Structure 1
Amino acid sequence: MARELEPKIMLAEWLFVETVDDIRRRSHDPGTRDRYELLGIAPLVRKLLLDNPGLLDTVRAARPDVPTNFRIKQWKASEEAQERVALSYWLRLGGPELVGGPDYPALTKLKQFVGATVGEVDGQALTVREIVRHYAHVEGGVHFGVPKEPEQLVLRKMAPLLLGRSTGQIEVLAHIGSIVVDALTPLRNSILSSPMIDTRMHHLNESGYFDGHWTEVHYAKTAGHLHK
């Protein structure tokens, strides 16, 4: 089944699917990714969730019944660390434990997810939004800028210490990316099963794909990856 044409939505659907798939690739096995690959997750997540409007909002407007469940285990200091009152921490970020499994309670509202805690800096909570915006706007994901907030300054000071020897704290982007991909996969699959089409140009072929449509290229590319 396909949906009748709205050119803006058709373009948004294509970009949404490609973006989710790109985040999936970059977030897989983050210990094997270099810093540049991980940094690239930030602008992709920003484009999906934080822009005004984000791609998620644009695409979901045409598919309001498809759920988006963000399963994140919000960061908190361990009891052992809390007891070490004499030890001062500058920066602490969550790792793979941030990613909730399929049975973990989900945040269904985007506002809840981007405000979820993934670490702390100088005793203050760091949220998904702050981490993504820092790597997108300060460290070069989109812009190479000047830190404007205290937490950005701390993260910026840490980065040069890690270049060339470790992906360090930036792996948190991969864990955020994994949560985003899991949440948006039902919407991605809905798009692929019933994409927006132009009935004057796109006709269903014997393989179940629409000739001349972007999904035809997508499936061909996917099949090529599977046979490599």
Structure 2
Amino acid sequence: MAPKIGPETMLAEWLFVETVADVRRRSEDPGARSRYELLGIAPLLRKLLIDASPLLNAVRAVRPEVPTEFRIKQWTAPLVGRDDADLPYLLRLGGPELVGGPEDPVLPKLKHFIGARVGQVQGRPLTVLEVVKYYANVEGGVHFGVPKDEPDYVLGKAAPLLLGHSTGQIEILAHLGTIVVDALAPLRDSILASPLVDTRMHRRNDRGFYAGHWTADHYKDVSERR
């Protein structure tokens, strides 16, 4: 059955494009971002990928031909010398090396990406899903909540000690954000090139975009940068 396309779908496309742009901005040069700016990536990723009805699924339903390819170098424990082999690690997180390139394998399914390994917590893998949920639901990206799971407790112990000293731990959100923006770029570009319109209101003009449509601002921004 074909998905129902209504006014809410147009709203979803607008929100998707703006959310991806916000993730891109916050993920650039993470070392220069404040902890608060980086924390704001978590609710955006939750909205795009993890909520009960993820925004990605809402827009992809009417554009199933557009690929979404997540390229991530899943975390593996670094090789250590013999003297370090038995050192216990409470928490280890991946860094910029998580961001995959064109030569890296693709995870085409959202469920595989959010289940990808990005670190280790008390001897077991830590996933994209767990990292995003912690920063969104416990540290305050969306809610300032009570830790419920083992990763929440471990991440929560470290966070207060890092305030005012380092954003190194939370920068993982920027690296995940970069992966997500790259994966969703084809879908974003498809929307901007051929957005849903209301033919009673929107007509393509001689400059190639729909005057009065939300996408007009994006074309204006592009033309001003040229």
TM-score (norm 2): 0.95
| Paired residues of 1:6 and 1:196 also in contact (CA < 8 A) | no
**1:195 Cα shift?**
0.1
Cα root mean square deviation, aligned:
1.6
Q: Check if 1:116 corresponds to 2:116.
A: yes
Structure 2 Cα separation of the partners of residues 39 and 13 of structure 1: 24
Letter in 2 for 1:135: Y
| Paired residues of 1:23 and 1:41 also in contact (CA < 8 A) | yes
Deviations along 1:19-74, whole A, 9 cap, x unmatched? 01110111111111110110000000000000121000000000000000000000
Task: Please name the residue that 1:151 is paired with.
Answer: 151
| Paired residues of 1:71 and 1:101 also in contact (CA < 8 A) | yes
Structure 2 Cα separation of the partners of residues 170 and 25 of structure 1: 16
Q: Check if 1:181 corresponds to 2:176.
A: no
Task: Please name the residue that 1:62 is paired with.
Answer: 62
Task: Please name the residue that 1:142 is paired with.
Answer: 142
**1:6 Cα shift?**
2.1
Structure 1 Cα separation of the partners of residues 97 and 83 of structure 2: 21
Task: Please name the residue that 1:171 is paired with.
Answer: 171
Letter in 2 for 1:69: E
TM-score (norm 1): 0.94
Structure 1 Cα separation of the partners of residues 186 and 82 of structure 2: 38
**1:83 Cα shift?**
7.0
Structure 2 Cα separation of the partners of residues 91 and 42 of structure 1: 19
Structure 2 Cα separation of the partners of residues 136 and 166 of structure 1: 19
Deviates more, 1:56-65 or 1:75-84: 75-84
Q: Check if 1:74 corresponds to 2:59.
A: no
| Paired residues of 1:114 and 1:129 also in contact (CA < 8 A) | yes
> RCO greater where, 1 or 2, for CA within 8 Å and sep 6 or more?
1
What pairs with 1:25-36 in structure 2 (closer than 5 Å)?
25-36=25-36
**1:150 Cα shift?**
1.2
Secondary structure of the 1:79 match is coil
Identity fraction in percent: 64
Task: Please name the residue that 2:42 is paired with.
Answer: 42
Deviations along 1:117-140, whole A, 9 cap, x unmatched? 000111121100000000000000
Task: Please name the residue that 1:205 is paired with.
Answer: 205
Task: Please name the residue that 1:105 is paired with.
Answer: 105
**1:79 Cα shift?**
1.8
Secondary structure of the 2:170 match is helix
Deviations along 1:128-170, whole A, 9 cap, x unmatched? 0000000000000000000000110110110011101210210
Structure 1: gaps of 5 or more residues: none
Structure 2 Cα separation of the partners of residues 103 and 82 of structure 1: 33
Task: Please name the residue that 1:95 is paired with.
Answer: 95
Change (3 A) 1:161 1:223: farther
Letter in 1 for 2:113: F
Deviates more, 1:56-65 or 1:86-95: 86-95
Letter in 1 for 2:191: I
Structure 2 Cα separation of the partners of residues 19 and 169 of structure 1: 23
Letter in 2 for 1:12: A
Question: How many corresponding residue pairs?
Answer: 223
Secondary structure of the 1:120 match is strand
